[in-house]
Amino acid sequence: MKTFELYLGLCAVRLLILALAVSPLREIFGIKLIRYRRALGLLCFYYALMHFLTYLVLDQRLMLSAILADVSKRPFTMLGAAAFVLLVPLALTSNTFSIRRLGKAWVRLHRLIYVIAICGALHFALATKVLTDEQYLYLTLIALLLAHRLLRPYLKRSRVRSAAPRPNIATGGGAAIVRLTADDRRSARCGPLRRVQRPRGPR
């Protein structure tokens, strides 16, 4: 029973990592898996739900006193419960109707996935006395994905700056020709291109 409960939780962690990795894979490596992100998130919720129900029904036998005693004795249980509770509104709003209805609020709501990742990672790490190599791998991946989310605005700004067009100045014999793109002309309001000739002396 305990093995089955741990297996369900492990599957939820794996699916959470895959859902978080969709955006970095697209932005860094150009791998487009955005169409699968909703399915991955919902599968993560279903496995987390089964993990939670297994704990309540098979492990604690729906005894409230036993559940409260376990939470006070092992605080990581509270972290797991918090991650599951936060997953519920995300699962309920993972549909096209909710996206249109909530608008920008939907984006803010689904940023809770990063809080869920932190709670889930702590729950996953504290659930066993000794961490295995697989647990270290998953915790490292979650840490890297969260770090990418924190650095994402700075990475975007740096890419925009590096991709900004620059004037191409070419010099030739007796004349300096400045070539600017159409965007440069509009932004700098420099008007049409001009060929600048060096002043000639009297003949």
Express each pLDDT in 130-159 by its tens digit: 888 999 999 999 999 999 999 887 777 776
Give the chain's domain count.
2
89 and 112 both lie in a single domain: yes
110 and 178 both lie in a single domain: no
157 and 186 both lie in a single domain: no
140 and 187 both lie in a single domain: no
191 and 128 both lie in a single domain: no
188 and 156 both lie in a single domain: no
| Torsion sign (Cα): 23, 25, 28, 34 | negative
**Sheet hosting strand 195-197, strand order edge to edge:** 168-172, 175-179, 195-197
Percent of the chain exceeding pLDDT 90 equals 56
44 and 87 both lie in a single domain: yes
173 assigned to some structural domain: yes
The predicted-structure confidence for 67-104, as pLDDT tens digits, reads as follows: 888 888 888 999 999 999 999 999 999 999 999 999 99
130 and 187 both lie in a single domain: no
What's the whole-model pTM score? 0.75
The three-class DSSP label of residue 197 is strand
pLDDT at 111: 93
58 assigned to some structural domain: yes
110 and 176 both lie in a single domain: no
Distance of alpha carbon 82 from the chain centroid: 20
Domain that holds residue 172: 168-197
29 and 87 both lie in a single domain: yes
28 and 59 both lie in a single domain: yes
First to last CA, the chain: 103
Most confident range (mean pLDDT) of 96-100, 151-155, 160-164, 193-197 is: 96-100
